[in-house]
């Protein structure tokens, strides 16, 4: 490797002799990925669902981009960053913004490495990528023009120098904007500095700075360790200042080695490949996800929070249930990486988040969330998930809240129709018909209770009236106590209807003694004559 006094070895790209022209990225997919990630941040302020749609589109774009990424570690880092961004949706917009910035840093790193490798092989190879790279690094029109001119003249070292200088200045400015305090502004500024340093992590003039130092500072900030954070920021600012100073002198022109006889011309500038990508994946992509909290070995905290939410919803205390669901959201963000990357994780995050704001929260809603959590564990372990739990989760998303309340209210109103028609058609003078009518009413009573008291409970949930909030406890679907009550109602209804229909059969001579058939009661004659 040729080294100049001003460090051409700073350029952290793979050797062109190893990559050749195969280093071209899918620029269309890159632009789609960048646009959708940035759009997710903007949409999160309005709607979490809209932000999820943009992240879904970003995931599709990343699928197209990954085959053209030559650094598999960076590709894996981007996968981790996308998972972290999805998890951040359940928390604050600032955390989503931080995660997106870290993902964008890995994107710039990959584009920078492959573009510089192509420029070393030949100025015309990476022109399109270089134009995109100048926009990604925010170069001014004058700086962009200078970069394109220097590329045409074969001065790849000057192209790298201008890009590195732009990134280093952003690192330093972001660090200066970070205060040693646990605030949203400091968190976003420090994440931005981490994002830009990702591009420079292999630069020889980085004065010993490492991505892990930025990750440590992020953990100190999120955990409120302001004293340690102040010390870390001092070290980071000192290193960033040294990095900026090392990039002030312009690099010297590079001489090339004579090419080997009989071989193709190969650039002599064979610069080292990135060596700190693993630390970037672990410290950059992983740090903000846990927000400074040590990950638990399993999903026990998640189940504990959901269990407490289930208990609270079981006696109509929806305020406490929502508090526990909020804790479940935090616990879900802290589950092991195997669960965060498993299929169904994003759906569970959104379902728990949606349940926190749902009116008329019921026990079945929380039970469906617990079933989804079990399915997530099964998917992470490679087992087949429960189809019943999956269906229950889908039903809870759609048939809940006010929709459920209004449907059962309508059914409760309609339940009176067959009883009215039965009384209108046969009257109430016949003892047997009265028994049939009462039995039918008992069978329909659970629907009536669900409709009326479910509505009262929902009104109490909205208004906060203590007397109404517990009205849902009268419904038979609220807890285990409803099952024996339902069984008792069914037993009485069956007995009454059996008694009634048996008496009618005796009156009509279908069963029983002949005398009963020959001498029907007066009420039976009246009903027969009317019929």
Check residue 317 and give left, alpha or beta (phi > 0: left; psi -120 to 50: alpha): beta
CA distance 243 to 196: 13
Q: What is the structure's pLDDT at 46?
A: 80
Name the residue among 37, 64, 53 with its Cα closest to residue 136. Answer: 37
What was the pLDDT predicted at 225? 87
Q: What is the pLDDT along the chain (531 residues), one digit of tens a residue?
A: 333 334 433 333 333 333 333 457 888 999 999 999 999 999 887 888 888 889 999 999 999 998 988 888 888 889 888 888 888 877 778 888 988 999 999 999 988 888 888 777 766 666 788 888 889 888 888 888 888 888 888 888 888 888 888 888 899 999 999 999 888 888 899 999 999 998 888 764 556 788 888 988 988 888 788 888 999 999 999 888 888 888 877 765 543 433 333 333 333 333 333 333 333 333 333 333 333 323 334 678 888 889 999 998 888 888 888 888 888 888 887 777 778 778 888 888 888 888 888 888 999 999 999 999 998 888 888 888 899 988 988 898 889 889 999 999 999 999 999 988 888 887 777 888 889 999 999 999 999 999 999 999 899 888 887 778 888 889 998 888 889 999 999 999 999 999 999 988 888 888 865 444 444 444 444 444 444
**CA angle 304–306–309, rounded 5-degree value:** 110
Whole-angstrom distance, CA of residue 121 vs CA of residue 118: 5
List of residues 6+ apart from 307 with CB closer than 8 A: 370
CA torsion, ordered 23, 26, 31, 32, to nearest 10 deg? -140
Which single residue is written with the structure tokens 């740090």? 287
Taking each continuous run of H as one helix and of E as one strand, the counts in the chain are 25, 0
Residue 317 main-chain phi, psi, to 5 deg: -90, 80
State the pLDDT at residue 192.
92
Evaluated on CA atoms 65, 71, 77, 81, the torsion sign reads negative
258 vs 4, 121, 155, 268, 269, CA distance in Å? 18, 15, 18, 8, 12
d(CA 100, CA 95): 9
Report the candidate in 99, 494, 520, 476 with the shortest Cα–Cα distance to residue 285: 99
Count of beta carbons in the 10 Å neighbourhood of residue 301: 16
What is residue 252's predicted lDDT score, i.e. its pLDDT? 58
The pLDDT value given to residue 205: 54
Query: How many C-beta atoms lie closer than 10 Å to residue 343's C-beta?
Result: 11
- Between 93-121 and 72-88, two packed helices, what is the crossing angle to 10 degrees? 160
Measure the CA–CA gap between 34 and 100, rounded to whole angstroms.
9
Dihedral angle computed from the Cα positions of residues 188, 191, 197 and 198, in that order, rounded to the nearest 10 degrees = -140
C-alpha neighbours within 13 Å on the C-beta side of residue 511: 6
d(CA 129, CA 108): 11
pTM for the predicted model, two decimal places? 0.50
CB of 150 closer than 8 Å to CB of 158: yes
**Residue (of 298, 292, 303) closest to 328 by Cα position:** 303
The DSSP line for 480-491 is TTHHHHHHHHHH
Angle at 357 between CA 345 and CA 292, to 5 degrees: 50
CB 348 within 8 A of CB 373: yes
Q: What tokens were used for 257?
A: 């080695």
Return all residues near 297 (Cβ < 8 A) that are at least 6 apart: 336
Report the 10 Å Cβ neighbour count for 433: 22
pLDDT of residue 409: 94
Distances (CA, A) of 254 to 147, 162, 267: 16, 16, 10
Q: How far apart are CA 319 and CA 314, in angstroms?
A: 12
Nearest to 111 by CA among 141, 136, 140, 76: 136
Any residues with CB less than 8 A from the CB of 406 and at least 6 apart, and which? Answer: none
Give the model's pLDDT for residue 284.
37
Determine the Cα–Cα distance for residues 293 and 334; give it in Å rounded to an integer: 7
pLDDT at 10: 39
Q: Counting beta carbons within 10 angstroms of the beta carbon of residue 250, is it exposed (0 to 12), middle (13 to 18) or buried (19 or more)? A: exposed
Cα–Cα distance, 433 to 181 (Å, whole number): 78
Residue 112 CA: distances (Å) to CA of 144, 254, 303:
15, 20, 44
**257: CB partners within 8 A, 6+ apart:** 2, 268
Return d(Cα 29, Cα 61) in angstroms, integer.
5
Nearest Cα to Cα of residue 461 among 305, 314, 317, 312: 317
Three-state DSSP at 22 gives: helix
């Amino acid at each position: 490797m040729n080294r100049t006094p001003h460090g051409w070895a700073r350029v952290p790209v793979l050797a062109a002799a190893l990559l050749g022209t195969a280093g071209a990225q899918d620029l269309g997919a890159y632009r789609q990925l960048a646009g959708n990630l940035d759009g997710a941040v903007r949409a999160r302020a309005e709607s979490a669902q809209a932000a999820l749609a943009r992240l879904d589109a970003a995931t599709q774009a990343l699928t197209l981009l990954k085959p053209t990424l030559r650094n598999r570690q960076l590709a894996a880092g981007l996968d981790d960053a996308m998972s972290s961004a999805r998890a951040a949706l359940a928390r604050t917009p600032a955390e989503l913004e931080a995660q997106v910035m870290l993902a964008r840093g890995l994107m710039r790193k990959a584009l920078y490495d492959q573009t510089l490798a192509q420029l070393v092989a030949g100025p015309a190879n990476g022109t399109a990528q270089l134009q995109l790279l100048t926009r990604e690094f925010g170069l001014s029109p004058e700086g962009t023009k200078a970069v394109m001119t220097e590329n045409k003249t074969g001065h790849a070292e000057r192209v790298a120098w201008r890009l590195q200088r732009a990134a280093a200045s952003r690192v330093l400015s972001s660090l200066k904007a970070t205060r040693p305090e646990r605030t949203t502004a400091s968190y976003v500024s420090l994440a931005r500095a981490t994002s830009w340093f990702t591009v420079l992590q292999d630069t020889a003039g980085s004065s010993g700075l490492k991505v892990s130092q930025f990750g440590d500072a992020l953990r100190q900030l999120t955990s409120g360790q302001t004293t340690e954070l102040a010390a870390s920021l001092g070290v980071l600012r000192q290193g960033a200042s040294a990095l900026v100073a090392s990039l002030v002198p312009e690099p010297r022109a590079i001489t090339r080695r004579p090419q080997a006889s009989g071989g193709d011309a190969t650039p002599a500038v064979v610069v080292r490949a990135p060596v700190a990508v693993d630390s970037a994946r672990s410290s950059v992509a992983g740090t903000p996800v846990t927000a400074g909290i040590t990950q638990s070995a399993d999903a026990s905290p998640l189940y504990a929070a959901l269990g407490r939410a289930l208990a609270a919803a079981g006696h109509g205390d929806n305020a406490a249930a929502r508090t526990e669901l909020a804790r479940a959201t935090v616990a879900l963000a802290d589950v092991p990486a195997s669960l965060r990357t498993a299929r169904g994780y994003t759906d569970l995050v959104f379902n728990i988040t949606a349940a926190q704001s749902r009116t008329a929260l019921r026990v079945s809603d929380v039970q469906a969330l617990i079933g989804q959590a079990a399915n997530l564990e099964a998917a992470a372990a490679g087992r087949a998930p429960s189809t019943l739990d999956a269906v229950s989760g889908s039903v809870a998303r759609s048939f809940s809240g006010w929709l459920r309340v209004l449907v059962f209210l309508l059914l409760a109103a309609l339940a009176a129709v067959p009883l009215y028609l039965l009384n209108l058609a046969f009257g109430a003078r016949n003892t047997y018909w009265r028994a049939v009518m009462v039995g039918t009413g008992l069978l329909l009573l659970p629907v009536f209770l669900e409709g009326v008291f479910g509505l009262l409970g929902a009104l109490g949930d909205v208004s906060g009236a203590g007397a109404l909030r517990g009205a849902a406890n009268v419904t038979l679907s609220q807890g285990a106590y409803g099952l024996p009550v339902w069984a008792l109602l069914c037993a009485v209804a069956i007995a009454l209807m059996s008694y009634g229909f048996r008496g009618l059969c005796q009156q009509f001579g279908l069963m029983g003694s002949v005398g009963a058939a020959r001498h029907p009661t007066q009420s039976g004659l009246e009903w027969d004559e009317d019929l």
